[in-house]
Structure 1
């Protein structure tokens, strides 16, 4: 939230409105006048538009006035404020007109006629305009006295032939006002983009999550945005209001709306408060309470005719949510209590809303009402209304008579707040619960929230401690299972097998939901790669997938492990089935985590647009929650996609943001994912030495990015980088790891990657390895891996001068990379395809000379012309630097040149214009 407030210096999202005002001023400069009534609800930005017009009219005679309610009953009070600077020009008018204006300005006691006053003011303004255009600006026109309003309406309808502009602002539709017939412009709420720009100008330090909340709550009302930003500093007050389901409204907005409401009769005012207090908009309930309070049908007509309430069928509501909040907060406490008492009296005893109205009436402690609210909260949680449940438990805690009861209800409120996405609120409520009455009941009632929050935002090892401790405290088997598997995730994220085993032991010993399926399912939580794994150990993939589909979601492993074990498809299916349920229930924390997992599974399966969408949505939710690690998980998927697409700036940004939190907090899984993304980006951009230097950190003991699962998933990348820099020993070691893992799991991706790694190492069995990689059942379900296998095989064939066969393999890879959007790999495949094809374009003598080169010589020549060294060319073409020198000697001989500079000039001359 912002810590300081600034005044914006420009209008945002008001292009059409300012264009209309600027057009009026422009026409006046050309000799034609006009008038405009700007109208809309309080705080919508009318005054800002009037200030814009005033500021744009520096070359005009400018007359301005802001009407006030206290002067609305004084005849010609508005005209006095507007024309006071022109008092010395009154005598220039005709005698009867001068007398009329003197009377209107209070300079004479002579009787006057309003028509004569109108004509006199018109003459006065038109006389001024003979030398210089005139601008008349009147704000808060709804408070103008009747005489002034009639006069200005008379003038506004008659200035068209003179360079006079009249701009009036009003709350109501001008059709029924004294300026009927004058052009009008309704000012509506800002678009979301305009609202965001305004927040950025008003409170430049506001974070993204707070900005989204402000934009949503203000409903496009600029004054509401200003005041929400201002109230952001008073967090306690803001959250006290949120607790009751009412976002805060500032004093200026309350005053703006109260002025209109106070013009109503007392029964009508009470009716508006009844409608504001009945938050569901039930017209029948409001009508019954209104009749019991003396607000009959005539009062309804008064309120609806004033435009405050809108009735549609059995629903009643205000034209804008800000109006409802301003009405409710602007009335006195006694009026609010009267409204709640009347509404509660209309409801049956078991109605949930009755508990809320009784709570609004309660003074001090009231255990009876607290129990009613507790039952309301429990029912709300069952139907997935977590935000309602949080508010009910929070209010019940306030009304609790005993500290232990208050503590338990605060713990429940904390958990519901977390599920609803109110992370900061959840943390403070949990702290309050523990401070008020420490004990195991806090863990029981919050369902182990301390460890859940630490896992999402803090240090995994600390989260593991909280989670395994609270597993023994919670009574529900399902909750114990959730905490235990979360503890295993925390252990996995720091690469601590000992911590994983301690959580596993508790799960196997305890009375937890799904206990009978634990032994088989929890095998998937291991990333140990036994070097002595035998082919007989390989499970049937179909059986593994079937078991994964039948396994309850908490028992499924972290997404990278699911990918490693080859159960990614059933896990993705389970997550997709779960997402609608989480959305319906409003469980934003679980939804963010599920989206982060779905994104990773989708990008591995080649569903890149879906992956990007899920990761972006999950990132927004996680940022709102303050769930840093879930946000980093989403950034990992976005960084992976950026690496595959060749967007190195996005890779750098995503990984830097991740490492800011993951390295200090020891979240090795996230750090490893960030390093993997960086290594892939370098490898795909053909910087293998840089890629290898990054990727070896995944297996470096003690490094912050050391993690066995990600070292396994990145094994092929590491092997390819190692081969390309001449580290066959390291490539062979990575190939053996993949082979051992494939023997253990039978995962298609691992089998394919192991064969590709063997093929990259070359030798007599290289072609058999590449063919075996492409023949692995299920390998096509990982399209990027499969396309890379095609490309590697095609490159091997091309280097063996089997160009026709190479063209088929490389062409298939090229098509896949193009379909996926893997630009760096597409460029590499295109280059390899060019080397298998016919000579390039023919034309000039220079071009014909280049065309005499072989395909490989052309490629060497092109890279040499780009001033790459022989070693750099060798890395890109996967040939030795000595072979590069040999080809380059042939190039110079065939072209009759001696230097790379001449080669650069020759290539430049052959470039198309």
Structure 2
């Protein structure tokens, strides 16, 4: 049979319950007490048991607190389905039960009633097995509990199953001697599965937060998931900073245990719930001042609500803390917070929070205390604590202008903590409450920062350049100005970039010396500025090693300028600091740039790890553009590795949002990646179509930086399809850029592209490209130039020289995992072998064909035309026709269909 309620992670528990049912069908009974904290899943397990025992006579009852003082109230409800067996004339065999049910009778003897109940159940079990299921046994009246305890210990010889759900260990009366099974919390995997099933639309941050706070308690997992609680509101929680939110069902479940305590003990539990650190000395001082004595401490410990260890006091589970606090009532909570505040030092951060929790009206003094607490949280790197403090301070502020300023500060702190939605909401609230320049100052220009991360770069540029003039401190203005430059660069708008640069150069900043030279690296115009490689450029490289990260250009520009190595050093230093300070938004951006630089440096494993981590963080914090950057990094690696499926998926995700928003840098990277994938898989026409968009005026993916970085790819594709005019233009662009920057990659790529055009200077250009100092710092590029040169040498029948360069390229492609290029290099390597011994295990031989004939035959078998084969193999279509004639003669066939049959038969397996 199948349970009607799906259970997660309860295989062991359900196996035990199923065993009870199975043995009862065979004639042997049993009893079990399921025990554990409220909400842990005991009721769900009883439901499972009932479903498995569908062919049993099922007697069930859920005890109620309102009937806990009425003798035999539980027994009466439990036996209602078989009341006729007790009240009929035949029922005279169970006089004790009739006495227990008689409203006018005196108190019945529990031992006699228990024996009568056992007899009744055994008689019923002669017709069909019986299941007795009792939920919330902690609320059961004492008389019924005693009777059921008697029965549970005596049913083994009869097909009767007694299952009880209780909060306490069955070793205590009345279940003493009855087998028990403690129901523990779910594992993290099962908890995630449960939340994902009940709230399939929940984002990763919400799922993680819910699972972390619930501690495996299914009801704590379900109530936030089902009710769809706002995670931003959950973060607020004023004084309730360390207590997970508790739903109404869970709160009710704990209420009985709390209400059973004496008033001093109840107060102690509320004090402990309000004092989140579990500091025993603070609790004792506050408790003593409020009338809490040693007896109250002993009572709460014996009840299992609190545990005391040395100088710390804690609840057995975080959910208990939340349930106690929320169930205490507003007046009791305020009393507890006032008592705790009274025993803390004047400037203690916790004192400010306790006073805030005890205040239900405007209070500027408390608001000011919270603002100072927020400043201290900022200093220690806890941005979210600062955001909560400022948020609460804003609520307590009597003046709207003060509240607005504090909300703006809270918004910035929330953004730095990676809470994008919360930051957006707080900023909107601040502007609605009291709009003005103070919002830009207190939020450090957050409106433009958010727009740059999540919206359109042109609008972000407007906000950022406007707020540069409103903020009061030069470092913030510098940050906004460089972000505005990034926005202009992302939009592919030189005019916006230049406007931001002009504003930056007008700043009165202490470290402005040399700023202009460094910011010149943000330009991607080959004709702009002076030639590189001189002392001025050397100063830029030195400065890049130690400069603030915000002043460095985006990583694609750093690559273009050849300052990727010093920028990488700055990034790694910044990464370590951000991890210590727990600033996920900034960390995601740094990881995205690190992944880009690592990719080009040949550290593909590191690049993939950084991009994947950056993507997770960016998605969590809502940094859409950083997420797109990380996706493009993963797409670039997939293109180089030959994983076209990932390329298609990643670039589709990126372009879906980047094109409408006008984020040309992101769109251009996606087009470049698609072009790379097509080029590496030897589809030059398709590659050229993609790559030409990078320099097409007005196209959504047109961007000068990426047109420059992709210039060699474009030139190679253009040469393959006979568009020498396009290739020549890219050669001129690369040479101009190399003259300006002296970047090793640009010098190498310029000469390699020139060599691909052929002519008498081709070999000299190839050699120059390979000998550029620093060219090996980008191993994929250097190996591709070796491949180009080896192919050129092989076509010139200089097989020995070709094998040297093809072998070097093959080794690099194999080490990196650049599979399409590795296959291409391997084919060329095979063609350079001695006559009669060419070919490889990958190529195989058929009918005495030469290696070149085999390649042509296989492509023809795939129904490629002569011109398509010529483009792939870089030979003329007439040469293809000549070789095909030889193939047909050797194999005794005369059509491409015949070739398809030959190669289909020769495939292994």
Mapping for residues 493-892 of structure 1, pairs under 5 Å: 493-530=490-527, 544-837=540-833, 838=837, 850-892=846-888
Instruction: Say which SS state the counterpart of residue 38 (structure 1) adopts.
Output: strand
Task: Find 2:217's aligned residue among 218, 221, 235.
Answer: 221
2:240/2:274 contact within 8 Å kept: no
Provide the C-alpha distance between the structure 1 equivalents of 2:36 and 2:906, rounded to a whole number of angstroms: 66
2:522/2:557 contact within 8 Å kept: yes
1:155 aligns with 2:114: no
Provide the C-alpha distance between the structure 2 equivalents of 1:273 and 1:568, rounded to a whole number of angstroms: 57
Instruction: Say which SS state the counterpart of residue 252 (structure 2) adopts.
Output: helix
1:814/1:830 contact within 8 Å kept: yes
1:231/1:248 contact within 8 Å kept: no
2:517/2:540 contact within 8 Å kept: no
Aligned length: 902
Closer/same/farther in 2, CA of residues 839 and 527 from structure 1, 3 Å limit: closer
Aligned residue for 2:343?
346
2:87/2:98 contact within 8 Å kept: no
Instruction: Say which SS state the counterpart of residue 94 (structure 2) adopts.
Output: helix
Closer/same/farther in 2, CA of residues 759 and 56 from structure 1, 3 Å limit: farther
2:334/2:359 contact within 8 Å kept: no
Q: Give the CA deviation at 1:123.
A: 3.8
Provide the C-alpha distance between the structure 2 equivalents of 1:541 and 1:177, rounded to a whole number of angstroms: 84
Cα RMSD for the two superposed structures: 2.8
Q: Give the CA deviation at 1:486.
A: 0.7
Aligned residue for 1:904?
900
Provide the C-alpha distance between the structure 1 equivalents of 2:640 and 2:131, rounded to a whole number of angstroms: 60
Provide the C-alpha distance between the structure 2 equivalents of 1:780 and 1:179, rounded to a whole number of angstroms: 77
My pick for the range that moved more, 889-898 or 241-250, is 241-250
Q: Give the CA deviation at 1:483.
A: 0.8
Task: Find 1:17's aligned residue among 13, 16, 20.
Answer: 13
Closer/same/farther in 2, CA of residues 544 and 328 from structure 1, 3 Å limit: same
Q: Give the CA deviation at 1:469.
A: 1.5
Mapping for residues 68-147 of structure 1, pairs under 5 Å: 68-90=64-86, 98-106=94-102, 109=105, 112-147=108-143
Q: Give the CA deviation at 1:385.
A: 1.3
Aligned residue for 1:164?
160
1:33/1:159 contact within 8 Å kept: yes
Provide the C-alpha distance between the structure 2 equivalents of 1:486 and 1:252, rounded to a whole number of angstroms: 48
Closer/same/farther in 2, CA of residues 776 and 342 from structure 1, 3 Å limit: same
Q: Give the CA deviation at 1:26.
A: 3.3
Structure 2 residue runs without a partner (length 5+): none
Task: Find 1:408's aligned residue among 405, 408, 414.
Answer: 405
Aligned residue for 2:320?
323
Structure 1 residue runs without a partner (length 5+): 1-6
Instruction: Say which SS state the counterpart of residue 700 (structure 2) adopts.
Output: coil
My pick for the range that moved more, 755-764 or 94-103, is 94-103
Provide the C-alpha distance between the structure 2 equivalents of 1:709 and 1:116, rounded to a whole number of angstroms: 92
2:790/2:802 contact within 8 Å kept: yes
2:64/2:140 contact within 8 Å kept: yes
Question: Residues 802-857 of structure 1: CA distance to partner in whole angstroms, max 9, x if unpaired?
Answer: 44444443343333333323333333334444444535699xxxx98x15111111
1:383 aligns with 2:380: yes
Q: Give the CA deviation at 1:313.
A: 3.1
Provide the C-alpha distance between the structure 1 equivalents of 2:49 and 2:793, rounded to a whole number of angstroms: 73
Question: Residues 694-730 of structure 1: CA distance to partner in whole angstroms, max 9, x if unpaired?
Answer: 1111100001111011111111221222122222221
1:365 aligns with 2:362: yes
My pick for the range that moved more, 552-561 or 228-237, is 228-237
Closer/same/farther in 2, CA of residues 804 and 287 from structure 1, 3 Å limit: farther
Provide the C-alpha distance between the structure 1 equivalents of 2:497 and 2:533, rounded to a whole number of angstroms: 23
1:100/1:117 contact within 8 Å kept: yes
Task: Find 2:38's aligned residue among 29, 37, 42.
Answer: 42
Closer/same/farther in 2, CA of residues 173 and 560 from structure 1, 3 Å limit: farther
1:538/1:743 contact within 8 Å kept: no
Provide the C-alpha distance between the structure 2 equivalents of 1:293 and 1:464, rounded to a whole number of angstroms: 58
Instruction: Say which SS state the counterpart of residue 249 (structure 1) adopts.
Output: coil
Aligned residue for 1:468?
465
Closer/same/farther in 2, CA of residues 833 and 186 from structure 1, 3 Å limit: farther
Aligned residue for 1:3?
none
2:232/2:422 contact within 8 Å kept: no
Instruction: Say which SS state the counterpart of residue 164 (structure 2) adopts.
Output: strand
Q: Give the CA deviation at 1:412.
A: 1.0
Closer/same/farther in 2, CA of residues 91 and 401 from structure 1, 3 Å limit: closer
Closer/same/farther in 2, CA of residues 328 and 901 from structure 1, 3 Å limit: same
Aligned residue for 2:353?
356
2:4/2:51 contact within 8 Å kept: no
Q: Give the CA deviation at 1:14.
A: 2.9
Q: Give the CA deviation at 1:904.
A: 2.5
1:281 aligns with 2:278: yes
Provide the C-alpha distance between the structure 1 equivalents of 2:56 and 2:791, rounded to a whole number of angstroms: 76
Q: Give the CA deviation at 1:273.
A: 0.9
Q: Give the CA deviation at 1:556.
A: 0.8
Instruction: Say which SS state the counterpart of residue 138 (structure 1) adopts.
Output: strand
1:839/1:851 contact within 8 Å kept: no
Task: Find 2:396's aligned residue among 387, 391, 399.
Answer: 399
1:835/1:859 contact within 8 Å kept: no
My pick for the range that moved more, 710-719 or 294-303, is 294-303
1:538/1:744 contact within 8 Å kept: no
Aligned residue for 2:453?
456
With the length of structure 1 as denominator, give the TM-score of the two structures: 0.93
Instruction: Say which SS state the counterpart of residue 135 (structure 1) adopts.
Output: strand
1:333 aligns with 2:333: no
Question: Residues 176-196 of structure 1: CA distance to partner in whole angstroms, max 9, x if unpaired?
Answer: 353344443333333333333
Question: Residues 752-799 of structure 1: CA distance to partner in whole angstroms, max 9, x if unpaired?
Answer: 222332333333333333333333322222222223223333333333
Question: Residues 13-54 of structure 1: CA distance to partner in whole angstroms, max 9, x if unpaired?
Answer: 333333333333334344444333322222222212221222
Instruction: Say which SS state the counterpart of residue 175 (structure 1) adopts.
Output: coil
1:313 aligns with 2:307: no
Closer/same/farther in 2, CA of residues 487 and 174 from structure 1, 3 Å limit: same
Instruction: Say which SS state the counterpart of residue 849 (structure 2) adopts.
Output: coil
Q: Give the CA deviation at 1:484.
A: 0.9
Closer/same/farther in 2, CA of residues 54 and 777 from structure 1, 3 Å limit: farther
With the length of structure 2 as denominator, give the TM-score of the two structures: 0.93
Provide the C-alpha distance between the structure 2 equivalents of 1:377 and 1:852, rounded to a whole number of angstroms: 81
Provide the C-alpha distance between the structure 1 equivalents of 2:528 and 2:432, rounded to a whole number of angstroms: 52
Instruction: Say which SS state the counterpart of residue 516 (structure 1) adopts.
Output: coil
Closer/same/farther in 2, CA of residues 462 and 105 from structure 1, 3 Å limit: same
My pick for the range that moved more, 703-712 or 851-860, is 851-860
Q: Give the CA deviation at 1:231.
A: 4.2
My pick for the range that moved more, 887-896 or 700-709, is 887-896
Provide the C-alpha distance between the structure 1 equivalents of 2:93 and 2:798, rounded to a whole number of angstroms: 104
1:386/1:417 contact within 8 Å kept: yes
Provide the C-alpha distance between the structure 2 equivalents of 1:35 and 1:513, rounded to a whole number of angstroms: 79
Provide the C-alpha distance between the structure 2 equivalents of 1:25 and 1:540, rounded to a whole number of angstroms: 85
Task: Find 1:54's aligned residue among 36, 50, 54.
Answer: 50
Provide the C-alpha distance between the structure 2 equivalents of 1:541 and 1:894, rounded to a whole number of angstroms: 63
1:199 aligns with 2:195: yes
Q: Give the CA deviation at 1:97.
A: 6.5
Provide the C-alpha distance between the structure 2 equivalents of 1:107 and 1:818, rounded to a whole number of angstroms: 89
Q: Give the CA deviation at 1:902.
A: 2.5
Q: Give the CA deviation at 1:167.
A: 2.5
Closer/same/farther in 2, CA of residues 841 and 279 from structure 1, 3 Å limit: closer
2:417/2:585 contact within 8 Å kept: yes
Provide the C-alpha distance between the structure 2 equivalents of 1:757 and 1:104, rounded to a whole number of angstroms: 100
Closer/same/farther in 2, CA of residues 610 and 19 from structure 1, 3 Å limit: farther
Closer/same/farther in 2, CA of residues 806 and 621 from structure 1, 3 Å limit: same
Q: Give the CA deviation at 1:738.
A: 1.7
